[in-house]
Structure 1
Amino acid sequence: MPTRPDTAPTPAPSRPLDVLGVPGEINLDHAASAPCARAAADAVAELLPWYASVHRGAGALSRRCTLAYEQARQTVGDFFGARIGDHVVFTRNTTDALNLLGRSLPAGTTVVTFAAEHHANLLPWPRGSVRLPVPTDPAAAVRDLAAALTELRRGSNPALPVLVAVTGASNVTGERWPVAELARVAHRHSARIVLDAAQLAPHAPVDLGTLDVDYLAVSGHKLYAPFGAGVLIGRSDWLDDAPPYLAGGGATSHVGSATHDVTWSTGPARHEGGTPNLLGAVALAAVCGALADADRAALAAHEQALLTRLRTGIAALPHVVELRTFGPDAPRVGIVSFVVAGRDSSEVAARLAAEHHIGVRDGLFCAHPLARRLLAEAADRTGRRDLPPTALRASLGLGSTAAQVDRLLAALAELG
């Protein structure tokens, strides 16, 4: 019989870190774009009736929006441990943030990266930058960087600036990089360091002071705030000395009648020309606030249990090979890339979606040098010559469950 209205069960209240989704669809592609957290959606919905200009108007709507935007800047900066003197500049995403920093480098700067980086941390840097080979383990990364910086400082002009650019966690394998150790090496050689935290921040606390990095770049769409905002946080001097990233309204304090009679702003406004992405900033701040209030250790423990379940299940499938840069026990976040022997990766991804309602990624994951190397190494390690030229990636996050992992493993087993 129908349930009487007065006895119907009360729906469970939503929580800030609940994620939005479509019933029946399994999203294991968080590393590309994470689903929207309830905190972000609620913050945007609350502000939308008030939406108006930022930094431009005297009306109540504009003043409220300006306050919300600057409060978001403070919240995001606090969440990532911005220090006195650091700028918090809102951008579109990590790629945009790193390109902004690339445009702000002093003349003659050499950038040192590893070939294991995402394209966002390979392509923005000037010609003459140094790309180190993929290290065999975290300790090798530290040694290789120390050797490279020692050699650079012996060059013809050892006083020129040097920037080290490194990921916090690989978007291909999920393996964590020794950021604090790399920062110590960089600073010992009077170099600065920027951290691409796009994949690390959704899974673990990231603090500029604790890691002792000079700059940090993050994408909101990977941090459960898919409203088009990212952030660059870091030391102010290079940013204040650089030409504006976007020349236009808001980036100036004075524009005269003559063509070159312009006084550019200092601070974040210098690089935030045009109408800012208010809703993106507010959404990102809302998720940062929710994560700050959450039990991050419990979230990490849950994810690691799922990750172990997934990797153990993959290892038990003789036709599936996991990709890795470091050893099998290296620390990592909830990202696993793999290949199915004898199967085209795009065809596997399509079947998983069509037949099992499971969304994963296929391709080279915007990290072509690393992915191609790992595919070749996987063939050498296993002795198999039937591995495809691209890979599959399953990535976990808020809302992932053991049942979803098991569904993926069962689907992969059917392909054997």
Structure 2
Amino acid sequence: MSALDIIGDDLKTELPSGETVRFAHLDYAASAPCAEAAAQAVAELLPRYGSVHRGTGVRSQTSTVAYEVARDVVAEFAGARPGDQVIFTRNTTDALNLLARALPPGTTTILFDGEHHANLLPWPNPLRLAAPPTPEAAVAALEAALAEVDGPAVLTVTGARNVTGEVWPVRELAEVAHAYGVRVIVDAAQLAPHHPVSLGELGADYLAFSGHKLYAPFGAGVLVGRSDWLDAAAPYLLGGGASATVGDRTGELTWADGPARHEGGTPNLLGAAALAAVCAALLIADRDALHRHEQELLARLREGLRDVPQAREVSLFGPDHPRVGIVSLALPGHDPAEVARRLGREHGIGVRAGQFCAHPLVRRLLSTENSESCGTAGTGLLRASFGLGSTTEEIDRFVTALAAVLRN
């Protein structure tokens, strides 16, 4: 197997008819399957696994090297600059919550109300802007908001929407934000699996993403970015590792600097190693070829859905805007949860239904549908998402099966 082959891509499932078919996993946006690189990294490390830092035995020494090498690989993958920190977390949600607690007091957080809840809920002093109809409207709304903000502020924005797959104009937004002296935080959970991500190219000051979206489902995520706020903030997790010295009296302590300050407790070494292994594989992969294949699948899916009139693709920026391998559908007159259940049970296809932890955005998207024919706004959407290992056969099966379920 190659490093980016998918573990379990031959998984079979039995249908009610008794027929056994290859399972079609089209729920990558929730959790991507495991890549061979991640599984191999864990398998190779397990015989030498130990607690990182400060140990003198071979297990600890080996594990410490593996952990810090993983940090360096992730830094390269994210385009970290001199002085940037790479902090391992549990996932994107954890990373963004960590950074939210590190903001200087009184900072206003500017964000759009179409954000995933992980990037909508943690921030102090939020200024929520309405989800815009065009990228240009997003930039204009940000500039208007910044002109009215009094005091320090940050912008936090998703690189690619988990509902529509649309790629956001992060660079353009960052240029406006930086003109006002405002830092930029990018939730790259959906962007990193599909596009190269670089702090410099995005114009971002901070970047967060998850291993379980990036083919490394071993419980690790990462926050990469400028160190000054992170070094000035109280530790995210109080405990061993985060503390440099602890005195005999309450309050007699000093905290560590650098990533250790926010990585209290024994870190997830295996998760970090798995995440770094996939990052390393992607760094040397032909990302253009991977992108072309994904876009071919996306075009095939959208073309096939034109023959399924009961299913309507939703978007903010319109059908021609660039997007990753995510398509969400309004199903007028149908319950998306029931449709998803039948796709899984009767056709061996895994998709997702609901509001995808982006309730304001889904409500907005559903409200743009014809209210007379789309009276199921409270039931959410149906989402198909794909990536490495996805095939045209899976796309075609989904379109055929969806049409059959909706007819019945």
Q: Same fold by TM (over 0.5)?
A: yes
- Range that drifts further, 388-397 or 37-46: 388-397
Whole-Å Cα distance in 1 between the matches of residues 126 and 5 of structure 2?
42
CA positional deviation for 1:212: 1.6
1:59-114 CA distances to partner (integer Å, 9 max, x unpaired)? 01110000000000000001110000100000000000000000001010000000
Q: Say if 2:235 is the partner of 1:250.
A: no
Specify the alignment match of 1:17 in structure 2: 4
Whole-Å Cα distance in 2 between the matches of residues 292 and 203 of structure 1?
12
Give the letter for the 1:15 counterpart: S
Contact in 2 for aligned 1:315/1:322 (Cα 8 Å)? no
Q: SS of the counterpart of 1:185?
A: helix
Q: Say if 2:139 is the partner of 1:142.
A: yes
1:220 paired residue among 204, 208, 211: 211
CA positional deviation for 1:277: 0.3
Specify every segment of 5 or more residues in structure 2 that has no aligned partner in the other structure, as ranges: 13-21
Q: SS of the counterpart of 2:212?
A: helix
Specify every segment of 5 or more residues in structure 1 that has no aligned partner in the other structure, as ranges: 1-13
2:157 paired residue among 154, 166, 190: 166
1:128-166 CA distances to partner (integer Å, 9 max, x unpaired)? 3200001011111011101100111xx3xxxx3211000
Specify the alignment match of 1:399 in structure 2: 389
Give the letter for the 2:53 counterpart: H
Q: SS of the counterpart of 1:203?
A: coil
Whole-Å Cα distance in 1 between the matches of residues 306 and 251 of structure 2?
63
Specify the alignment match of 1:385 in structure 2: 374
Whole-Å Cα distance in 2 between the matches of residues 240 and 388 of structure 1?
45
Whole-Å Cα distance in 2 between the matches of residues 340 and 210 of structure 1?
38
1:168-203 CA distances to partner (integer Å, 9 max, x unpaired)? 000000000000001100000010010000000000
Specify the alignment match of 1:83 in structure 2: 81
Report 1:103-252 matches (<5 A).
Answer: 103-126=101-124, 128-152=125-149, 155=150, 160-252=151-243
Q: SS of the counterpart of 1:222?
A: coil
Give the letter for the 1:346 counterpart: A
Give the letter for the 1:182 counterpart: L
Contact in 1 for aligned 2:6/2:35 (Cα 8 Å)? yes
TM-score under structure 2 normalisation? 0.95
Aligned-residue identity in percent? 62
Whole-Å Cα distance in 2 between the matches of residues 123 and 323 of structure 1?
24
Q: SS of the counterpart of 2:122?
A: coil
2:308 paired residue among 317, 321, 329: 317
CA positional deviation for 1:386: 4.1
Q: SS of the counterpart of 1:103?
A: helix
1:39-60 CA distances to partner (integer Å, 9 max, x unpaired)? 0000000000101110131001
1:290-343 CA distances to partner (integer Å, 9 max, x unpaired)? 001100000000000100111111122111111111111001000000022221
CA positional deviation for 1:15: 0.5
Whole-Å Cα distance in 2 between the matches of residues 385 and 93 of structure 1?
35
Specify the alignment match of 1:410 in structure 2: 400
Report 1:344-383 matches (<5 A).
Answer: 344-380=335-371
Contact in 2 for aligned 1:340/1:388 (Cα 8 Å)? no
Whole-Å Cα distance in 1 between the matches of residues 306 and 188 of structure 2?
28
Q: SS of the counterpart of 2:178?
A: helix
Q: SS of the counterpart of 1:365?
A: coil
1:260 paired residue among 232, 235, 251: 251
TM-score under structure 1 normalisation? 0.93
Whole-Å Cα distance in 1 between the matches of residues 27 and 370 of structure 2?
25
2:278 paired residue among 276, 287, 293: 287
After superposition, the CA RMSD in angstroms is 0.9
Whole-Å Cα distance in 1 between the matches of residues 95 and 370 of structure 2?
36
Q: SS of the counterpart of 2:369?
A: helix
| Count of paired positions | 394
